[in-house]
Amino acid sequence: MKGWHAHAQAVEQLLTSYAAIPQGSRIRLAKKTSNLFRPRSASDAPGLDVSDLDGVIAIDPEAATADVQGVCTYEDLVEATLTFGFIPFVVPQLRTITLGGAVTGLGIESTSFRNGLPHESVLEMDILTGSGELVTATPDNEHAELFDAFPNSYGSLGYATRLKIKLERVPRYVSLRHVRMHGGQQAVEAIASISETGQWHGERVDGLDGTAFTPDEIYLTLATFTDDLPSGGRDAVSDYTGMQVYYRSIQQRETDTLTMNDYIWRWDTDWFWCSGAFGAQTPWIRRLWPARYRRSDVFHKIVGLDERFGIIKTLDRLKKIPGRERVIQDIEVPLDKVPEFLEWFDAEVGMRPVWLCPLRTTRAWPVYPLEPGAIYVNAGFWGTVEVPADAPAGMVNRRIEDAVHAMGGHKSLYSEAFYDQAMFDQMYGGEVLAAVRRRYDPDSRLSTLYEKAVRNS
């Protein structure tokens, strides 16, 4: 772990880099990696040096809390907390998502049906504001309005240098049940029951997510945290970092057991199912592909290389495919709208599978306003679709935005968005953001949320 002295030095380095940026220039992070899927304007201007804000500062096992730096990845955070028998309340699916990124950009995972989103287990944050002030924000101090508006602000209100989060004690293993649902309505009823009772057929449920292979073939994966090994002992514990692919096991097995660490990263090895686009699920290729390079950040880099060199565009021309649009999105709709959304999406977009993750927020958060206590379901879909050569930019993504809005839902902003500003401000707390920015960034050194999410600046 970093320790408090090293953290203080890293913060001083950050403040020095802020002071070196010319007055009036925009403030941005000098960060080379990202889990965003929207274009960003290139800049040679100096940015904030967060290179040493990448670790765990301290863990308090008695209080079940951790002090963590803003760009610490969940991979490093989980490695540290599991040493003490804990995990964060919510661990997003991909190893290189950072804690600060998940809080300011809304992460989610299978514990979200009972623990909400990552920012809901944050106790306090040190935030560098656009004006260069370093403040400690809590839910009830003089900076409470900044604390409340920070989730989903994507750096438009500042950057978290330290976050104190709550931890959950966990055992060594996770027992899984993959329960087949014959249609969206049956899945909705099961999700409602599990969310209300915390169990399914008398057995406790600690984690809940789902996979819709078609609108009528949906599996809910029910996770129970346990110290008990399956009857076959340690040899019966599955490992999906090798030749086996996790998402395929959902259709093939009714029950399974993973270590806690492997459960947390079960989706990362094959980037859910997206590794298939690179051949990584083809047995002979998988055998030659080193396991240490079968992970989400490697696949993300491959996507970046394709965007740079236009490999898929060249192949599409050879195949006479007129056009292609990237559709990489996560959306939330109210629980009762899940069947309607899945039917619409399958008919109008046609991408399969779709990941489903139920969630409930504990209270209102102004920049991503979901009804507190109500059950929503996140639907994640990632890939490309063929479009006509003369299709307008974002044609399919715009239709998804319209459909989700009509169903009373919201869309995460880590990927491309096409809303006009009036609609965007209505959906994402525009008035609240403007008021907080007037206090903490009076000279507009930071890009607004609309500039970041839609104008890609």
Whole-number CA gyration radius for the chain: 22
- Supply the pLDDT for residue 83: 97
Are the beta carbons of 269 and 294 closer than 8 angstroms?
Answer: yes
| Mean pLDDT, rounded, of the chain | 94
Q: Where are the beta strands (DSSP E) in 138-254?
A: 159-169, 173-181, 199-200, 203-204, 207-214, 217-226
Confidence of residue 32 (pLDDT cuts 50, 70, 90): low
334 HSE (CA, 13 A, CB side): 12
Question: Whole-angstrom Cα distance, residue 435 to residue 145?
Answer: 9
Confidence of residue 52 (pLDDT cuts 50, 70, 90): very high
pLDDT tens digits for range 292-350: 999 999 999 998 887 787 777 777 777 778 889 999 999 999 999 999 999 999 999 99
**The domain defined by 310-418 carries CATH number 3.30.460.10:** no
309 HSE (CA, 13 A, CB side): 7
Burial 353-363, CB ≥16 within 10 A → b, else e = bbbbbbbbbee
97-111 average pLDDT score: 96
**Residues facing residue 203 across a β-bridge:** 200
Torsion angle, CA of 261/267/268/273, rounded to 10 degrees? 160
CATH number of 4-170+434-453: 3.30.465.10
Q: Does residue 353 have a cis peptide bond before it, meaning omega lies within 30 degrees of 0? A: yes
Domain map (residue ranges) of the chain:
4-170+434-453, 173-266, 310-418
* 59: pLDDT strictly greater than 90: yes
Type of residue at 169: R
The 3-state DSSP class for residue 242 equals coil
- Supply the pLDDT for residue 178: 98
Question: Whole-angstrom Cα distance, residue 69 to residue 427?
Answer: 30
Question: Whole-angstrom Cα distance, residue 338 to residue 96?
Answer: 29
- Supply the pLDDT for residue 98: 96
- Supply the pLDDT for residue 42: 56
For the chain, percent of residues with pLDDT exceeding 70: 97
Residues in Cβ contact with 316 at an 8 Å cutoff, skipping those fewer than 6 apart: 323, 324
Phi and psi of 202, rounded to 5°?
Answer: 85, 0
* Residue 248 tokens, joined: 């395929």
